[in-house]
Amino acid sequence: MSSPVTASPTARPQSLLAPLAQGLWVLLAAALVLAPSADWAWGIDPTPPPQENRRLAAQPGWPNSLDEGIAWPAKVEAWFKDGFGLRNSLIAWHSTWMLDYLGVSPNKDVLIGKQGWLYFGIAKNVDSYRCLAPFTPAELKVQVAEAKRRQQWLAKRKIGYGHVWVPIKANIYPEYLPSGLTKLDQPCRLQQWIAAVGQAGVPVLDLTSALKKAKSADPFEIYYRTDTHWNPRGAWHGYQAMVPWLKKLVPTLPTLTADQVHFAMRSDRGGDLARMLDLQERYRGIDPFLELRPARAKLVANTAIAAKGVNLATFECASCGPLRGVMLHDSFGNHLRPFVAESFAHLVAAEFAGFDEKLLEAERPDFVLEVHLERQLTPER
């Protein structure tokens, strides 16, 4: 009896596209591996570099001593990380992924608000908005004593003095804050400071009420959506609120009129908070740029003192009266100083200089104006 005939298995015909697909996968894998090296060598990354508030690590030279040799590996590692191929695109992709797909801020110090608004999220800023840590009586006594000391030091030299406080963005635009941030039912430090120091006879001004009114009246925003700061329109409203107060302190002080102030609305990249997210192009918006017509005061010197983190901007104006001034300010003073400069023949705007007595002795001004953001009153934690 013959055995049954078994059919031999037939091999499945291989697709003609399979080798092509495999080759494409190999090319893609090779491209992914080699792309960082190619960018390092030839700079092929199309993404603009993130604007970081630091200097990137430079390529270290060969060590010339034992100490340099010990430190050399860490320097090489820092240089490699800062110069890694496609770093710009990788950072941008990471930020986009975190924001769009995970729904969280790519930077813990930036709060994602509503309708495209961003807020500074460091504890000091949030605490300032929430009134988390009011002054104790002892702390407030120290604040009053220092304000009086400055006033008296200047008065002995026949120099006038006044102190202006600018509110944080969250206190002017709280409606765009993330849900869940609420104020506590207790005094804020700025309210305490204004009441106590003003009662002690020091000329002080809080711009919060004036800026809230300006926000309601102005068809344009007065703080940047994607930056910590007020914009030039906000600074102009602040200056207008300062004028009658300044006139009481210095009756002969010349001041700007509204017909001299013009704003050009221009498209610009997102501000410092968008930069912290590495998403400045995504947060591009229309912002006001100041134009004074005519601009009488001229910036004649701009000196950075890197060791102290201080910047001195000197303005001169031949037709702005005879007075000399010094403005001591933080970064919020930068948009304000073009207005203030129009009131003095000579103005030094000292950013982050503190109450520098040597500077004041050298300048011998007729008036000293301090301008600071209310957050400066809140302690770190």
Nearest to 325 by CA among 297, 370, 365, 371: 365
pLDDT given for residue 10 in this prediction: 54
pLDDT given for residue 17 in this prediction: 63
Nearest to 317 by CA among 296, 293, 290, 292: 296
Q: Report helix, strand and coil shares of the chain as percent, to nearest 5.
A: 40, 20, 40
pLDDT given for residue 40 in this prediction: 67
pLDDT given for residue 44 in this prediction: 73
pLDDT given for residue 63 in this prediction: 87
Nearest to 209 by CA among 166, 150, 161: 166
pLDDT given for residue 191 in this prediction: 97
Q: Which one-letter amino acid corresponds to residue 261?
A: V
Q: Tens-digit pLDDT profile for the chain (381 aa)?
A: 555 555 555 555 556 567 777 777 777 777 667 667 776 667 777 777 776 667 878 888 898 988 888 888 898 888 778 777 777 777 777 777 878 787 788 889 999 999 999 999 989 999 999 999 999 999 999 999 999 999 999 999 999 999 999 999 999 999 999 998 999 999 999 999 999 999 999 999 999 999 999 999 999 999 999 999 999 999 999 999 999 999 999 999 999 999 999 999 999 999 999 999 989 889 999 999 999 988 999 999 999 987 788 999 999 999 999 999 999 999 999 999 999 999 999 999 999 989 999 999 999 999 999 999 999 999 987
Q: What DSSP state is assigned to residue 343?
A: G
Burial 93-119 (b: 16+ CB within 10 A, else e): eebeeebeeeeebbbeebbbbeeebbb
Contact 124, 379 (CB under 8 A): yes
pLDDT given for residue 95 in this prediction: 75
pLDDT given for residue 322 in this prediction: 96
Q: Which two tokens stand for residue 51?
A: 């604007």
Q: What is the CA angle 315-319-324, rounded to 5?
A: 50
pLDDT given for residue 104 in this prediction: 82
CA distance 292 to 232: 11
Q: Which two tokens stand for residue 275?
A: 């930069």
CA distance 182 to 199: 29
pLDDT given for residue 24 in this prediction: 79
pLDDT given for residue 306 in this prediction: 77
Contact 174, 125 (CB under 8 A): no
CA distance 374 to 57: 34
Contact 201, 213 (CB under 8 A): no
* Measured CA distances, 123 to 131, 132, 192 (Å): 12, 10, 20
Contact 225, 116 (CB under 8 A): yes
pLDDT given for residue 14 in this prediction: 57
